[in-house]
Structure 1
Amino acid sequence: MSELGLAKRRFGHRARLALSPAEIRVMDDQAHAARTMWNCLHAWWQMMPKDKRTLAAADAAIREARKELDFLAELPAQASQAVLKTYFRAWVNCWEGRADEPNFKARFRSAMSVDIPQGRDLNIVRVHRRWGMVNLPKVGRVRFRWTKDLPVGKRAGTDNRITGARLVKDALGWHIAFRIQTLEAKPQPHQGPEVGIDAGVNIPLALSNKDHQDHGRPPRLPHGTADRDKWLTPKEKAKLLKLERQAAHRKSLRKKGEKTSRRLQHTYDQIKQLRAKATRRALDWQHKTTTYLARTYGVIVVEQLNITNMVKSARGTIEKPGKNVKAKAGLNRSIAQEAWGRTV
């Protein structure tokens, strides 16, 4: 392929799913079963001697568990095999120094997801301009938002195809992330101009040629305070403030040790949805801006910043308390919101 000037490119594309309440319950059950499968594998790994921690032994244990526990059988067989491979890959990454040791996945601290390792099982069809149909194991045919041309039908082949997908749930609902492989021409050396970038808070990306990139948000508030919801509209900010006040009031009425009420949990979910919407807007601006810079300039020089030290707290100690702690905390939030490291 190098002689022809072609190279394989692997990337992902995420789309929103349109599920009915019954399909959402099925997907939730599968995601909880996948998390339980991971935790069972981790417990099995800790109990077994080192010489018996093999892939074949773990596969046999998974098959036995799926026969005995109906809850684990909710997860498709291929998805359970994907959990097994992901767990062993996590240990390989740990041994090679790329990640920490895998641990138990808590119910409320881990993302709900289900893997579909085989792309041919998806049977993707475009319905019309805005929607497509995809086949999900044990769920059936569901619609997804069509926002990008996918290699399906006549466009699909051995070089251009969808190799698999992953179902992920966030505060805005269930989404499908396609794994796509294409054969494209190798990019030629960029002949664009050189530019330097200075990262900041009031101006996120200040370029040396005055081509500054700003996201249109208001500058940081005076006295070091930070607006945590700069990516929301005024109406959304008012709604978020109302929901936060409702949550605080309902939480004050809850007795110690009492389970969270459904009404309070629903309020928390609405707050999460607004927060997730703001996060998506920030990511969208960041991706579009960095793509524009990469296509426009041939050489980009970015200042080297020690972000970890820049966002340290000014609280100090009991013996030596810090000064302007609240202002420094607001500045730290503003710096964290810009996500300079992810931009680079």
Structure 2
Amino acid sequence: MKADAGRTYRAYPTGGQDRILTGWGHTARALWNVALEQRVYLWKQRRHSLRSAEQCRQLTVARGDLDWIEDFPAQAGQQILRQLDRSYDNFWNPAHSARFPARKKRGDRLSIPFPGQAVEVRKLNRRWGEVRLPKLGWLRFRLSRAVGGMIRNATVSRDGRGWHISFGVHTGRKPDAPNGKPPCGVDFGVAASAYVSTETEPRLTPPTLTANEKRRLKHLEQKKARQLTYAKKHQGGKYGRRLRTTIAQIAKLTARRAARRRDFTHKLTTDLAKSHGLIGIEDLRVKNMSKSAKGSVEAPGKNVRAKAGLNRSILDNTPGERRRQLEYKTHAYGSVLVAVPPFHTSRTCARCGRVDPDSRKGCGRLFACAHCGHEDDADHNASMEIEARARRTGGSDINSTRSAPEARVPADGRRRMREAPKPVRTS
């Protein structure tokens, strides 16, 4: 049985447990890097593909020779090697977008994985629970929701806010039947975080940091820059205690900002999946959209700072994470997700279907069709066009409260949309 849901809780280790978990986190990072380096070396030298089964046997031998591996739980080490196997499998899978497994840096988030058989969970009361980890004992965590299934794996991690315990849970829940709700199109943007075609107002991401937090973050970043300059000039680049404290304070604020952004994303995607039977979104290439404009020494880019600000705004709205969440939430709540080509959605009239750059001059919020005179908010018009394309692609039989044009006027100058390759006929 595989895990089909995740549960994350805030963990509260004691002082001794905190020191042990911190050491284990660095050991896990080092073990990943050593195992990856070993695989790369053997492939380059002998064309030998090393897998976790062989490396687990070598890990058992190494535990008798190296103290830093001996103190590390054997189950966690074996789990890391299995995760490395999965990273390689994802890399070689043409249907997966994963890159080649990368080495983990010291500044990465600390994480210690455990298999489900190695942990035990018990409930203390309505608000608190404990999990028993190998060589650590009972670790308290805030029971903010029921586990609700069989635990298949567990991961202890630390970010800027503190320690967390995550469980991969097998709930056995089956996908819901089609909910029969009306379809919609959603336009994810920067000025408007999300504009739903069935709504009259955009959904805006609330401020992830207050005004005081923004000022404090700016002050800490300036302080860090001064301390880095001093460390490079007088300490040979070695980080001092004050610099590490500043970095930890910045990490706490950025983790808080990420948590608030993640909370809004979950609420948005859950509401969309529950309230609609068909959800159309743009098939965006976020990596291409957020490329740097700095260019090279020979051909430097233009408006580099402005493009960098735009990239931050695009990534701050997390369009890729919203699509990832919609993919599994629509499957769970009986709705359908359709990703349509994004070509000219902001320049296409949702009423007559014509594409004309004059309909939306500049980057204003008003869309005024130069042919039929249709006027609307530019993002809402784009969401209407996305919904129409989604219904033609994968949701023509979905009941709708609004009518989309049956016949669309051919758009002048429309780019060729990506289509599936047609089969070659053989005689």
TM-score w.r.t. structure 2 length?
0.67
The AA in structure 2 aligned to 1:61 is: Q
For the residue of structure 1 that corresponds to 2:126, the secondary structure is coil
Deviating more after overlay: 314-323 vs 197-206: 314-323
CA deviations on 1:98-125 (whole Å, 9 max, x unpaired) are 43333433323x4321111024x43312
Partner SS for 2:171: strand
Deviations along 1:319-344, whole A, 9 cap, x unmatched? 76655443333222212211222212
Instruction: Name the structure 2 match of 1:338.
Output: 317
Which whole-Å CA distance do the structure 2 matches of 1:329 and 1:54 have between them? 41
Q: CA RMSD in A?
A: 2.6
Q: Which residue in 1 is equivalent to 2:85?
A: 88
User: Is 1:15 the equivalent of 2:9?
Assistant: yes
2:111 corresponds to which of 106, 113, 117 = 113
1:253 aligns with 2:230: yes
Matched residues, percent identical? 35
Q: CA deviation at 1:13?
A: 0.8
- The whole-number CA distance in structure 2 between the counterparts of 1:114 and 1:215 is 36
Structure 1 residue 184, shift from structure 2 partner = 2.6
Residues 330, 39 of structure 1: alpha-carbon distance in 2 compared, 3 angstrom cutoff = closer
What amino acid maps onto 1:69 in structure 2?
A: L
Partner of 2:180: 191
Q: 1:283 aligns with which of 246, 262, 266?
A: 262
What one-letter code is carried by the residue in structure 1 that aligns with 2:150? R
Partner secondary structure for residue 125 of structure 1: strand
Using the alignment, how far apart are the partners of 1:87 and 1:321 within structure 2?
39
Is structure 2 residue 19 aligned with structure 1 residue 25? Answer: yes
Which residue pairs with 2:219 in the alignment? 242
Tell me which of 38, 42, 64 is aligned to 1:44: 38
- Is this contact kept in 2: 1:112–1:169, CA < 8 A? yes
| Alpha carbons 1:38, 1:87 under 8 Å: kept | yes
Secondary structure of 1:124's counterpart equals strand
Q: Which segments of 5 or more consecutive residues in structure 1 lack a partner in the other structure?
A: 1-6, 152-159, 218-229
Alignment TM-score, normalising by the size of structure 1: 0.82
Give the match's secondary structure for 1:180.
Answer: strand
**Residue 281 of structure 1, CA deviation:** 0.4
Measured in 2, the distance between the counterparts of 1:318 and 1:164 equals 48
The 3 A distance-change label for structure 1 pair 123 and 209 is same
Q: Take 2:22 and 2:297, find their aligned partners in 1: how far apart are those partners?
A: 47
Q: Which secondary structure state, in structure 2, belongs to the residue aligned with residue 68 of structure 1?
A: coil
Query: Residue in 2 aligned with 1:140?
Result: 137
1:229-284 CA distance string (max 9 Å, x none):
x4111222222223223223333333432311110111011001101110110011
Report the secondary structure of 1:275's partner residue: helix
Partner SS, residue 269 of structure 2: helix
Which structure carries more relative contact order (alpha carbon 8 Å, separation 6+)? 1
Q: Deviations over 1:187-218 (max 9, x none)?
A: 1112101112222222111122225452454x
Match of 2:348 in 1: none
Aligned equivalent of 1:123: 120
Q: Deviations over 1:126-167 (max 9, x none)?
A: 22222211112111112101111123xxxxxxxx41122111
Distance change (3 Å), C-alpha of 1:205 and 1:95 = closer
Query: Would you say the 8 A contact 2:3–2:168 is kept in 1?
Result: no
Change (3 A) 1:198 1:56: closer
Q: Helix, strand or coil: the match of 1:184?
A: coil
Q: Is the 8 A contact 1:166 1:178 kept in 2?
A: yes
Checking the alignment, whether the CA contact within 8 Å between 2:228 and 2:237 is kept in structure 1 is: no
Structure 2 counterpart of 1:201: 190
Residues 34 and 252 of structure 1: CA distance in aligned 2, closer, same or farther (over 3 Å): closer
Q: What is the aligned length?
A: 316
One-letter code of the match for 1:113? S
- Note the C-alpha offset of 1:94: 3.0
**Any residues of structure 2 matched to 1:163-242 within 5 Å, and which?**
163-215=152-204, 217=206, 230-242=207-219
Say which one has the larger Rg: 2
What residue identity is the alignment partner of 1:238?
R
Q: How far apart are the structure 2 equivalents of 1:47 and 1:161?
A: 39
Relative to structure 1, the CA distance from residue 130 to residue 289 in structure 2 (aligned partners, 3 Å threshold; closer, same or farther) is: same
